Amino acid sequence: MRDYSVENMTKINLLTGRLLSGGRRIPLTQGQSAIVRDSDFERINQFKWRALWNPYTKSFYAVRSVRLPSGKWATQYMHREILGLMPGDPQHVDHRDHNTLRNVRSNLRLTDKRGNSENLSNQSIYGPGVYKVSERFRACAMADGRLAHIGMFDTCEEASEAREEFLKTGATKKVRRPSPYGIGVDKVGERFRACAKVDGRNIHIGVFSTAAEACEAREDFLKCR
């Protein structure tokens, strides 16, 4: 599992800055540095840039403050300035490799809000589209331009499998994790509910004291059909 702490990301960025070719490093605050193409260095380096931590992407961005024609101050991102986009421009830019301080043009892509969201939704230490919520794991994916909630699962592996199945179906239906109590059996409070789908309809069979009783009742119900 990758360590996304501020300290570790600082080490990764410094190492990446030394190893990447075809670019020059611009120092930032918080021990960070950004990488830009040689041809962009002089233009970008004339400004004072700082490092801004984004808790959602769990990464640093290079930013500076700019004064708008209205007289108000706004935050300008280095990757947007490299592509000629100023604050207020509706176009979006994402980083192809998710390294948000690698601002060479080959790593930047103009996109729309949907494309940017799809790129961001793949960033997770538990796998694409999988996030930890309390002690469980949530699976989600982009479907028709919207972020679809697939379900909550006990492990990140189960969440990843459900997400893959969801994408295989063309994102046309919600994937549910099999019940640990048996097919068609769910726990409701301290009791167990048995259900079965018949002719496209979900039939409620009954509520029972144990999961075994609920499973038996479901089997008997299906045998009588």
Residue 196's φ and ψ, nearest 5 degrees, are -150, 145
Domains in the chain, ordered, with CATH?
6-120 (3.90.75), 124-168 (no CATH), 185-223 (no CATH)
Nearest to 101 by CA among 15, 42, 43: 15
Cβ contact 82:40 at 8 Å = yes
pLDDT at 175 over 80: no
pLDDT band at 145 (very low <50, low <70, confident <90, very high): low
Closest alpha carbon to 101 in 210, 203, 11: 11
Question: What pLDDT was estimated at residue 136?
Answer: 75
**Tally of residues, the chain:** 225
CA 149 to chain centre: 12
Q: What token pair was written down for 162? A: 């459900």
7 — pLDDT class (breaks 50, 70, 90): low
Has residue 122 got a pLDDT over 90? no
- Percent of the chain scored above 70 by pLDDT? 71
Claim: this prediction has a pTM higher than 0.85: no
DSSP state of 107: G
Q: Measured between alpha carbons, how far is 59 from 151 in angstroms, rounded to an integer?
A: 26
pLDDT at 48 over 90: yes
Asked if 179 and 168 touch (Cβ cutoff 8 Å), the reply is no
Closest CA to 26 of 41, 5, 8, 14: 41
User: Phi, psi at residue 8, to the nearest 5°?
Assistant: -70, -40
What local confidence, expressed as pLDDT, does residue 225 receive?
63
Residue 23, pLDDT above cutoff 80 = yes
